[in-house]
Amino acid sequence: MTLYKSMRFLDLQERDQSESSCRDSARCSPQVITPSGRLLLSTTLAGSPTRHYRPFVSALDPYQLRQEFPILNQEINGKPLVYLDNAATSQKPLCVLDSSRNYYERINSNIHRGVHRLSQAATAAHEAARETIAKHLNVNRPEEIIFTSGTTDSVNLVASSLGRSDQFQKGDEIIVSGLEHHSNTVPWQMLCERLGITLKVIPVLDDGTLDLEAYDALLSERTKLVSVNHVSNAFGTVNNVIHICSQAKKVGALTFIDGAQSVPHFGVDLQSFDCDFYAFSGHKVYGPTGIGILYGRYDLLCKLPPWRGGGEMIKEVTFEKTTYNDPPFKFEAGTPNIEGGIALAAAIDYVNNLGATNIAAHEDALIKRAATILAEIDGITLYGPDDRAGALSFNVEGVHHYDLGTLLDQMGFALRTGHHCCQPLMARFGITGTIRASFAAYNTIEEVEALGKAVEKALMMLR
């Protein structure tokens, strides 16, 4: 352990002491919510069952955590793996792996309509998972939580269902932002083409934040939906979702927040910014792939038509007419990813066991240290504001991001290169892509410092 690291963690420990006493009580009050909807004093532990995979630690210790992530303990190209591609997908702790295995070894069965014991056990576990996620996001009722296959699926569900409702008339407008992932752009674009509505875009300022004055000016009575991400996967920008949602409401527009890059990095309390829809992906928050969440306001879900037909989503079927089930089942046609939902709840329990605030503080220290080290490199451009979450994107003058990423891979570092599914954002900055380091609870300051040295070394070879 380096001196720097011990100092850093002392600092974190001090901050976390106030949080650990907070965690010990059932609910901590008052909670502090930033304008961007970040929960600074966590209430998210309340009510979540604690798993006993590890002794409780008051401050987040990434070295201890790493023992729970077997995949991290390997060499790539003869070098220890440094996994910094967490925005693409995070690694999974033993409790999540165990959850999937236990499900198949002990209760695998189809859910909801089974009279037999295994089906009842699987149903109970699946619905308990829904409740865990409902509590984690602090929503009003578990029926507001729909299991999907991921954020992309959640956006498509809402776009498809709203497209069949009477929400839009020709000439109406949908607003997205210039920071969006393609999955929060293309489904709306497809809907616009189909219904003759217009897509408007909130511009991005030079510091990688949204131009909120321009946003306010875009809003009008024609605006029927605003859909933005909570945190940008490309630049780590944390958006002011409180402002975005409250302004949209003033003109009667619905709001959809893409939380794919927020839920993994800090506590999210949906009561604090009152959006109509919120989505995230299990695989980015230590859970499995193929499972995701859509939150929808209950009264809206009741009114909206289903998007896919099949089993589970019906009340009664005749050849003349079918009546539909209540939410959330109305939107969950077919056999769901049962094991995935249960394992996602295990991942959420894991996050709550660590403390969402501890994760946020730890990652903040990592990303700030990474920015400080990288900023010293000659010819480097760091994208996004200083106050980033999760991801740090950069380019070095005269060097292609792909070449840098390839050399870093040779040294054992997993970083992502390219447009990060944000081509319009790359075009706005006149670049084809960036190289991106993205962080999780198990990353260490040592890894960040090693990254700085590896980038310097790679640049000596490339320049």
Ligand X SMILES: Cc1ncc(COP(=O)(O)O)c(C=O)c1O
Residue ranges binding ligand X (CB under 6 A): 87, 150-152, 181, 183-184, 229, 233, 258, 260-261, 281
Kindly tell me which of 233 and 353 has the beta carbon lying closer to ligand X.
Answer: 233
Q: If 0-12 CB within 10 Å is exposed, 13-18 middle and 19+ buried, where does residue 276 land?
A: buried
CB contact at 8 A, 256 and 180: no
Q: Smallest distance, Å, CB 45 to ligand X? A: 25
Q: Smallest distance, Å, CB 37 to ligand X? A: 15
Kindly tell me which of 150 and 163 has the beta carbon lying closer to ligand X.
Answer: 150
DSSP 38-55: EESS--TTTTPPPP-SS-
Kindly tell me which of 31 and 417 has the beta carbon lying closer to ligand X.
Answer: 417
- How far is Cα 356 from Cα 202, in angstroms, rounded to an integer? 30
- How far is Cα 457 from Cα 440, in angstroms, rounded to an integer? 24
Give me the residue label for tokens 């609910």: 27
Grouping H, G, I as helix, E, B as strand and the rest as coil, residue 369 is helix
421 an active-site residue?
yes
Q: Smallest distance, Å, CB 29 to ligand X? A: 31
Q: Smallest distance, Å, CB 234 to ligand X? A: 8
Kindly tell me which of 9 and 383 has the beta carbon lying closer to ligand X.
Answer: 383
Which residue type is seen at 352?
Answer: N
| Structure token pair of residue 428 | 């706005």
DSSP 422-443: -HHHHHHTT-S-EEEEE--TT-
Kindly tell me which of 229 and 272 has the beta carbon lying closer to ligand X.
Answer: 229
Strand order in the sheet with 434-438: 380-383, 391-396, 434-438, 416-418
Give me the residue label for tokens 């660590």: 354
Q: Smallest distance, Å, CB 326 to ligand X? A: 26
Please give the span between the terminal C-alpha atoms of the chain, in angstroms, as a whole number. Answer: 33
Tell me how crowded residue 113 is: count the other CB atoms within 10 A of its CB: 9
Active-site residue among 192, 245, 302, 421?
Answer: 421
| Nearest CA-CA partner of 352 in 27, 14, 13, 5 | 27
| Structure token pair of residue 314 | 């019906």
For residue 88, give every residue at least 6 positions away whose Cβ sits within 8 Å of its Cβ, in sequence order, or none: 284, 416, 438
| Mode of pairing for the β-strands spanning 173-177 and 198-202 | parallel
Q: Smallest distance, Å, CB 225 to ligand X? A: 16
- How far is Cα 409 from Cα 67, in angstroms, rounded to an integer? 23
Q: Smallest distance, Å, CB 161 to ligand X? A: 17
Q: Smallest distance, Å, CB 391 to ligand X? A: 9
- How far is Cα 120 from Cα 64, in angstroms, rounded to an integer? 37
CB contact at 8 A, 366 and 445: yes
Residues with a catalytic annotation lie at: 421
